[in-house]
């Protein structure tokens, strides 16, 4: 049996280990920095498999790593996530909105299959290293709080990931692809204004309104929006608008701001200007402003040489296999999608890849059953990921697999409802096979890392990484 067949059958033979793990994490549905049961379960499984486990790495209680192998060969890292989203509690396997616990959390971003799929890859490669006797090391990184915490950016700041040559990861999806090499850099901070309360009618002159300051800050930022790069975004939310009484000059108001831009350097300079606007608003209203950095994540540094290694593995494994049973469930789920949502996978093919021919091939499908090409076209719209910071310090690539019905939106109840489905399980195992084959390819041919490292070095030379996290900042561990 070739090593490739060996890896694929190892994952198939042990499939219940990975699917049970993913289903258990789905049940726990723990949110950012509170993934105690999830992290403990991973650590125990890794220890049982013979990995050397370190808990609480990078200053984060729920971050961990499991290492296996020797230091005399290549070292490949796997990035696993396992946090859930607040407010998305939802029964599995049903086609209607049905929370298990109203207001509870749920795995709307598929991080239950995320961590377990990467674990399948790590275990398969461990098995391969033992069978082949090849030198080398694998490290499974358990990365908490991707949602709303940017866990990996804190881990990078604390010195994690320095023990590996490159890292492989993925994200659950409704498409089979090596993911778009684009994510926006993001910085988030709160601005707390403090003034003086007083009677709004009888003594308005004695009051200093924090609410006025917050409104002036929002207006200032509104004018700033004309003067930022096209693809930059500035979002805000009122965390505290003072109070519910109109007859009081509001002494407290807090705003949350998120600044995104294709490059961290731009995000940083917009951020500086937003800070100045906050100071200006405080000056205008004779209030005080206290700014607190919340979190940040960098844009993705692409590595096409590493993408190519993973893509070849993906071609060997093929897209996620689909059965009639999967199609029946997907058809019912898709009936709950709005007209806006339907067709979004085709739009990805048209907008990102400029490929109408491929869009036509999936138009009438309930589940995407093809592997998208490895072509780079600049994406128009996107979000941010803390994988960005890891990709800034070493070569990283990520794939997506079709684990959900076509057009399924992440962060939706429909994604939670599909999180324990046979398709989600197969997508996760497909990911495990692809990433394991790619890692084994590196151990078989260590020279393949040379162009990967060269490409990284060149990119670093053009733009070295500076952590977006200010020195001395601490992650906000509670909600």
Which residue number has the CB closest to Zn ion?
A: 109
For Zn ion, give the closer residue by CB, 215 or 403. 403
Angle formed at CA 170 by CA 387 and CA 11, multiple of 5 degrees: 140
* Minimum CB distance to Zn ion smaller for 109 or for 121: 109
Query: Least Å distance between CB 171 and Zn ion?
Result: 6
Give the residue with the Cβ less far from Zn ion, 135 or 148. Answer: 148
Question: Cα–chain-centroid distance for residue 416?
Answer: 16
Min CB(208)–Zn ion separation in Å: 42
Nearer to Zn ion, 87 or 321 (CB): 87
Supply the minimum distance, in Å, between the C-beta of residue 85 and Zn ion: 9
Least separation in angstroms between residue 365's CB and Zn ion is 24
By CB under 5 A, how many residues form the interface with Zn ion? 1
Comparison of 55 and 411: residue with beta carbon closer to Zn ion: 411
- CB-CB contact of 354 with 347 (8 Å): no
Long-range contacts of residues 341-347, Cβ cutoff 8 Å, at least 24 apart: 341/407, 341/409, 342/407, 343/407, 344/407, 344/409, 345/174, 345/175, 345/406, 345/407
3-class secondary structure, 267: helix
145 and 61 Cβ atoms separated by less than 8 Å = no
Q: Cβ of 8: how many Cβ atoms within 10 Å?
A: 21
Q: Which stretch binds Zn ion (CB under 5 A): 109-117, 149-157, 291-299, 347-355?
A: 109-117
Quote the least distance from Cβ 159 to Zn ion, whole Å.
24
**125, 436 Cβ separation under 8 angstroms:** yes
Report which DSSP code applies to 93. Answer: S
Per-residue x/- mask for Zn ion, residues 7 to 26, rule CB under 5 A?
A: --------------------
Q: How far is the CB of 111 from Zn ion (least distance, A)?
A: 6
Q: Which range in 102-110, 204-212, 396-404, 432-440 contacts Zn ion by CB under 5 A? A: 102-110
Q: What is the CB neighbour count within 10 angstroms for residue 206? A: 11
Contact between 47 and 53 (Cβ < 8 Å): yes
- The region of 55-63, 103-111, 350-358, 439-447 touching Zn ion under the rule CB under 5 A is 103-111
Count Cβ atoms below 10 Å from residue 312 Cβ, excluding itself: 15
Which one of 109, 175, 396, 442 is in contact with Zn ion (CB under 5 A)? 109
Closest approach, Cβ 109 to Zn ion, in A, equals 3
Locus of tokens 């993913």: 22
Query: Which is nearer to Zn ion, 134 or 171 (by Cβ)?
Result: 171
Cα 228–chain centre separation = 25
Contacts (CB under 5 A) with Zn ion, residues 163-222? none
CA distance 205 to 207: 6
Give 109 or 282: the residue with its C-beta nearer to Zn ion.
Answer: 109
For Zn ion, give the closer residue by CB, 109 or 405: 109
The residue range among 68-76, 104-112, 286-294, 398-406 that interacts with Zn ion, by the rule CB under 5 A, is 104-112
C-alpha 276/C-alpha 58 separation (Å) is 32
The window from 106-114, 332-340, 391-399, 441-449 that contacts Zn ion (CB under 5 A) reads 106-114
How many Å from the N-terminal Cα to the C-terminal Cα in the chain?
51
Region near Zn ion per CB under 5 A, out of 101-109, 305-313, 324-332, 436-444: 101-109
| Token code pair at residue 455 | 């490409």
Residues near Zn ion, by CB under 5 A: 109
């Amino acid at each position: 049996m070739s090593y490739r067949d060996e890896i694929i059958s190892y994952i198939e033979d042990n499939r219940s280990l990975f699917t049970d793990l993913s289903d258990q994490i789905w049940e726990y549905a723990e949110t950012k920095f509170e993934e105690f049961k999830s992290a403990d379960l991973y650590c125990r499984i890794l220890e049982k498999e013979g990995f050397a486990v370190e808990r609480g790495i990078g200053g984060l209680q729920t971050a961990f790593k499991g290492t296996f192998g020797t230091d005399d060969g290549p070292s490949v890292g796997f990035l696993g996530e396992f946090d859930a989203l607040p407010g998305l509690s939802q029964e599995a396997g049903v086609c209607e909105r049905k929370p298990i616990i109203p207001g509870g959390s749920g795995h709307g971003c598929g991080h239950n299959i995320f961590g377990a799929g990467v674990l399948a890859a790590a275990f398969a490669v461990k098995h391969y290293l033992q069978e082949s006797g090849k030198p080398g090391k694998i490290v499974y990184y358990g990365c908490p709080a991707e949602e709303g915490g940017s866990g990996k950016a804190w881990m990078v700041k604390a010195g994690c990931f320095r023990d590996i040559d490159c890292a492989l990861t993925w994200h659950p999806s409704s498409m089979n692809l090596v993911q778009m090499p684009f994510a926006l850099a993001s910085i988030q901070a709160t601005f707390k204004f403090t003034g003086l309360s007083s009677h709004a009618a009888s003594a308005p002159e004695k009051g200093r309104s924090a609410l006025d300051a917050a409104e002036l800050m929002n207006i200032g930022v509104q004018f700033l929006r004309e003067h930022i790069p096209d693809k930059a975004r500035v979002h805000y939310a009122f965390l505290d608008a003072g109070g519910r009484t109109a007859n009081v000059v509001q002494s407290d108001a807090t705003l949350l701001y998120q600044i995104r831009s294709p490059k961290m350097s731009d995000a940083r300079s917009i951020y500086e200007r937003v800070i100045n606007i906050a100071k200006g608003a405080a000056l205008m209203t004779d209030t005080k402003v206290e700014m607190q950095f919340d979190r940040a994540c960098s844009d993705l540094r692409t590595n096409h040489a590493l993408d190519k290694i993973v893509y070849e593995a993906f071609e060997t494994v093929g897209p996620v296999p689909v059965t009639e049973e999967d199609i029946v469930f997907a058809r019912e789920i898709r009936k709950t999608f709005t007209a806006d949502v339907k067709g979004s996978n085709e739009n990805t093919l048209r907008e990102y890849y400029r490929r109408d021919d491929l869009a036509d091939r999936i138009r009438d499908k309930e589940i995407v059953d093809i592997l998208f090409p490895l072509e780079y076209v600049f994406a128009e719209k996107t979000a941010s990921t803390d994988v960005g910071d890891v990709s800034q310090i070493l070569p990283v690539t990520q794939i997506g697999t079709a684990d959900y019905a076509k057009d399924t939106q992440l962060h939706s109840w429909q994604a939670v409802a599909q999180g324990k489905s046979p398709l989600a399980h197969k997508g996760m195992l497909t990911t495990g096979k692809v990433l394991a084959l790619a890692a084994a390819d590196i151990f078989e041919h260590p020279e393949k890392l040379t162009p990967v490292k060269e490409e990284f070095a060149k990119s670093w030379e053009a733009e070295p990484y500076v952590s977006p996290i200010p020195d001395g900042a601490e992650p906000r561990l509670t909600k």
